Chains A and B, each alone.
Chain A
Amino acid sequence: MRRLEATESRRLAQHWADRIALSTTRPWRIMEICGGQTQAIVKFGIDQLLPPEIELLHGPGCPVCVTPLEMVDRALAIAARPDVIFCSFGDMLRVPGSESDLLQAKAQGADVRVLYSPLDALTIAKKHPDKQVVFFAIGFETTAPANAMAIHRARERGLTNFSALVSHVLVPPAITAILQDPEQRVQAFLGPGHVCSVVGTAEYLPIAERFKIPIVVTGFEPLDLLEGVWRAVQQLEAGEARVENQYSRVVQDAGNTASQALLREVFEVCDRKWRGIGSLPQSGLQLREAYRAHDACYVFEVRDITTQEPAACISGQILRGLKKPTDCTEFGKQCTPEHPLGATMVSSEGACAAYHAYGRGPIPATRLARGVQERL
C-alpha cells in the first residue's frame, strides 16, 4: 500500500470535482461533522474545487472546542496541586479556562505533561508512586476506547495513584440537536469516519430516517472528502436519505465490537454541557461507579465554578451551521487564536480558528470550479 504522488492526488481530486459539478443541478448545503474534516477542507482548499452551488457547513465535531469551561477550570485546579502530575493531549494546553490555561499553569510550576497516548500515563504513574497522575480524558467516541483501556488497566493493576478527568462527548445527540433546531440549514452530513470505526454506522440509521437526511460516513484525506461530497450530492439529487459508507477501508458497519464492549464496561452515558451549545441530554460519557477510585472528579475535591461566555460570541450558531466565522463582528478583531472569545476559536480545528489560520477573512477564497451557469 503506497502513498499517492502529488500528480495522482491532483488528478483524482479533479476527477471528483468534475463528477460533482456534473451531478449538481441545484444548491445544496452539506455539513461535515468532524473537526479534522473541517481542517482538511480548509487546509487543502477543497471547497475551492466545488461548484458554487455546494455550500459546506462546519459542524460541532471538535471535542476540544466543546469541552465545558467548568471542566477546564477543574483541570487547572487539579494541575496546580504539587502532588499531581497532570497529563494531557497537546490540544488542551492552550484552551483558556476562566483565568488561565494549562500552558500558563505549567509556566507557573505545575507538572503538566503532553502525551501522545493515554497508555503512557500509566507508565508515568508506575514510575512515580508518590505522585497522583491524572489524565485529561477528552474526545469523541474515537478516543474513548484508548482512554477506557488506560482506566481499565489502572483498576486491574491496582494503580491507585492514577485517575482520569473524563469529559467525553457523543456525536449522535449533537447531530440530533442541530437537526431539531427550526432554523437549521443542513441538507446532508459527511459522517465522522473514525468515530464510526469504533461505534459502527447503526446509530445513524434512525437519524437519517427521522430527519430524511443523507449521511455519508467519510474519511479525512482530501480525496475521501471529495468522494464523500459526491456521494452526498448523488443522494440529494435523487431525493434519497440513506446512511452510506465512503470510508469502507477503515469502517465496518458493525464497528469494533471489542471497543464497544470495553466502553460499556467502563463508561456510562450522561448529560453533558457542550461549550457554545449548552447542555445536551445523554450526550456524554462518564466513569461508572465501579471506577470511582480512578475518577478524578471524585478523587479530587474541586469546588464548582460558574462561567459566562462573552456576549459577542456566536460560537453556538457556528457549531450548528447557522452562521460562518466571517459573520461574527469580533472575528479577527477582538477574537483571535491568541485571544479566543469562544469555543470555535479555542482549538486549532474549530471553524473560526481554521478560517483565521487559513485566511478566510478579508481575502475571498479563489473559486477554481465554474458555476452551473458558466458551464452551460
Chain B
Amino acid sequence: MTNAACPIPQSRYSRIVLGHGSGGRLSQDLLEHVFLPAFSGETLARREDHALLPAPTEPGARLAFTTDAFVVSPLFFPGGDIGRLAVCGTVNDLCVGGAIPQFLSAAFVLEEGLLLEDLKRIVTSMAATCREAGVEVVAGDTKVVEKGKADGVFITTSGVGVVPAGRELSISGVRPGDALLVSGPIGDHGVAILSVREGIDFETTLLSDCAPLVSLTRALLETSSDIRCMRDPTRGGLSGVLHDIAQRSGVGVLIDEALVPVRPEVRAASEMLGLDPLYIACEGRLVLAAAPTIAERLLRAMRAHPLGQGAALIGHAVAEHPKMVRMRSRIGGERVVPMLSGEQLPRIC
C-alpha cells in the first residue's frame, strides 16, 4: 500500500524487531519498503550479492577507496542527521584525496526498538545527500541487535572514486613556506551536537556544517595543481589535521589565532564550557596546504563557492620546530598547540 505523498510505503511494524535482521521475510520487507525506494538505482535493484562496477578507462587513473563508521548521538541534530553524516564523511574522504566519488556501500546495525519512522527519515536524508554529492549506493547490509546494544543505529559507509591520472595529493608532501588555508569557520558541527546533549544542552541557532565537498574540491583542483594536500577536519578538529601535516610531512606548522575563522556562537559555547575550538569537529570544511604563490587564487575560488564563504589563510608550514604545531595568540604571545589526548570534556576550571 503506497501513500502517494510519501515515496516510502507503509509497513506493518512501527519499530525495528530482531526479525528485521534475520534474512527472512521481514528483512525483505525492509529492503523493499525502506532501502530500495530511497536508494533507487539500477545496481541495487539487481539485488545481486555484489555490485559490478565499471573499471576506470583513463590510463593512469587510480581507484580511491575509503570506509568510515558513524555512531553519532543524538541521531538527529541541528543541521543534519546520522544518515547525512554517513554519506558526507565517506564522500569527503574521497574528495580530499582528489578523487571523483562514485559509489557507496552502506551497512546498518539497527537497535531493536528503533522507530521505523526514524529509519525512514535517515535513509531519505542519505538518499538526498547522495544525489547532492553525485554518488550512488550500490551495496548494503542490515543487521539488528538487541535493545541496548546500539545507540539507535550505527552506519558504516565505504566509498569508491576515481583519481585522474597525474593527480598526486599527499599529506606528506607539504614543504616549509606552504600556505595553510581553511574553507570556513571551524567547530560548527561539534557545537551543534553539544547543544542537544543532555546535561550540557543550550539554545542556539547554530547548525552543523555537514555537507558534501564534491564541487568545492573540484573547483579548487581545477584552479591549480599546486595544492599539496586537502583534509576534512572531523574528529580532532583543525588541530588534528595540522598535526597530521606536521607529523607526516616533517614540517613545523605556525598559525595565527586572529586568522582562524570561528563563529561567535562557537566561541561563546567554547568559553561557556571551557573547550578549545581548535579541537572541535567540522563535517563540511576543508583544510588545505598549497604553494604560497597560489594562496590568493585558492581563497578567491573558495569564496566564490557557497561552501567556501568564510575561507581564510590561517598560517604556514615552517622549517622551524619540525613536527610541532605552534600558534600566535591573539595578544601576540606564542604557544604550542598540543595534540588532543582523549575526548574534550566541559570544564568548570
Instruction: List residues of A whose CB falls within 8 A of some B CB.
Output: 3, 6-7, 9-10, 12-14, 35-36, 42-49, 62-64, 87, 89-91, 93-94, 113-116, 120, 139, 143, 222-223, 226, 337-338, 347-349, 356-359, 363, 365-366, 368
* Interface residue? B52 (CB, 8 A): no
* Interface residue? B200 (CB, 8 A): yes
- A93-B345, A116-B346 as given contacts; A49 in contact with B335, CB under 8 Å: no
Closest to B275 in A: A90
Contact among B200, B330, B346 for A10, CB-based, below 8 A: B330
Cα A347 to Cα B274 in complex, Å, equals: 13
User: In the complex the two chains form, is A43's CB within 8 Å of B341's CB?
Assistant: no
Cβ proximity bits B189-224 to A, threshold 8 Å, 1 near / 0 not: 000000000111000000000000000000000000
User: In the complex the two chains form, is B333's CB within 8 Å of A89's CB?
Assistant: no
Distance to closest chain B CB from A5 (angstroms): 8
Closest 7 CB pairs of A and B: A45-B333, A359-B336, A90-B345, A6-B258, A13-B331, A357-B338, A90-B346
Contact among B273, B331, B342 for A94, CB-based, below 8 A: B342
Q: CB-CB < 8 A to A12: which residues of B?
A: 331
Cα A298 to Cα B330 in complex, Å, equals: 49
Cβ proximity bits B85-107 to A, threshold 8 Å, 1 near / 0 not: 00000000000000000000000
User: In the complex the two chains form, is A45's CB within 8 Å of B346's CB?
Assistant: no
How many chain B residues sit at the interface, stated as a range, is: 20 to 34
Cα A48 to Cα B326 in complex, Å, equals: 14
Contact among A63, A357, A365, A368 for B332, CB-based, below 8 A: A368
Cα A12 to Cα B330 in complex, Å, equals: 11
Q: CB-CB < 8 A to B326: which residues of A?
A: 359
User: In the complex the two chains form, is A49's CB within 8 Å of B333's CB?
Assistant: yes
Cα A365 to Cα B329 in complex, Å, equals: 13
- A114-B200, A363-B336 as given contacts; A35 in contact with B331, CB under 8 Å: no
Contact among A9, A91, A356, A359 for B347, CB-based, below 8 A: A91
User: In the complex the two chains form, is A48's CB within 8 Å of B349's CB?
Assistant: no
User: In the complex the two chains form, is B341's CB within 8 Å of A222's CB?
Assistant: no
Cα A357 to Cα B321 in complex, Å, equals: 15
Distance to closest chain B CB from A174 (angstroms): 15
User: In the complex the two chains form, is A44's CB within 8 Å of B349's CB?
Assistant: no
- A9-B330, A44-B331, A114-B199 as given contacts; A90 in contact with B347, CB under 8 Å: yes
Can you name 26 A-B residue pairings with CB atoms under 8 Å? A6-B330, A10-B330, A13-B332, A42-B335, A43-B335, A44-B333, A45-B329, A45-B331, A45-B333, A46-B333, A49-B332, A49-B333, A87-B199, A90-B346, A90-B347, A113-B199, A116-B346, A139-B348, A223-B331, A226-B331, A338-B342, A349-B349, A359-B338, A363-B336, A365-B334, A366-B334
Distance to closest chain B CB from A176 (angstroms): 22
- A89-B346, A90-B345 as given contacts; A120 in contact with B199, CB under 8 Å: yes
* Interface residue? B257 (CB, 8 A): yes
Distance to closest chain B CB from A312 (angstroms): 21
Contact among B200, B273, B274, B341 for A337, CB-based, below 8 A: B341
Cα A112 to Cα B349 in complex, Å, equals: 19
Q: CB-CB < 8 A to B341: which residues of A?
A: 337-338
- Label chain B's interface by main secondary structure: loop
Cβ proximity bits B50-71 to A, threshold 8 Å, 1 near / 0 not: 0000000000000000000000
User: In the complex the two chains form, is A62's CB within 8 Å of B331's CB?
Assistant: no
- A116-B199, A357-B336, A359-B335 as given contacts; A89 in contact with B348, CB under 8 Å: yes
Residues 244-279 of B at the A interface (beta carbon under 8 Å): 257-258, 264, 272-274
Closest to A349 in B: B349
Cβ proximity bits B309-339 to A, threshold 8 Å, 1 near / 0 not: 0000000000001001010011111111010
Cα A143 to Cα B198 in complex, Å, equals: 21
Distance to closest chain B CB from A145 (angstroms): 13
Distance to closest chain B CB from A240 (angstroms): 27
- A62-B349, A63-B349 as given contacts; A368 in contact with B333, CB under 8 Å: yes
Q: CB-CB < 8 A to B198: which residues of A?
A: 113
Query: Most A CB atoms within 10 A — which of B200, B274, B349?
Result: B349
Q: CB-CB < 8 A to B258: which residues of A?
A: 6-7, 10
Distance to closest chain A CB from B329 (angstroms): 4
Query: Most A CB atoms within 10 A — which of B321, B336, B348?
Result: B348
Cα A114 to Cα B347 in complex, Å, equals: 10
User: In the complex the two chains form, is A347's CB within 8 Å of B349's CB?
Assistant: yes
- A348-B347, A359-B336 as given contacts; A115 in contact with B331, CB under 8 Å: no
User: In the complex the two chains form, is A10's CB within 8 Å of B345's CB?
Assistant: no
Cα A44 to Cα B333 in complex, Å, equals: 6
Distance to closest chain B CB from A328 (angstroms): 18
User: In the complex the two chains form, is B334's CB within 8 Å of A45's CB?
Assistant: yes
Cα A47 to Cα B334 in complex, Å, equals: 10
- A89-B346, A114-B200, A363-B321 as given contacts; A358 in contact with B331, CB under 8 Å: no
User: In the complex the two chains form, is A359's CB within 8 Å of B333's CB?
Assistant: no
Cα A226 to Cα B199 in complex, Å, equals: 35
Distance to closest chain B CB from A42 (angstroms): 7
Given known contacts A90-B345, A91-B345, A363-B321, what 16 new A-B pairs fall within 8 Å (CB)?
A: A6-B258, A10-B258, A36-B349, A45-B332, A48-B332, A49-B332, A49-B333, A63-B349, A89-B348, A91-B347, A116-B272, A116-B273, A116-B346, A226-B331, A348-B347, A365-B334
Q: CB-CB < 8 A to B199: which residues of A?
A: 87, 113-116, 120
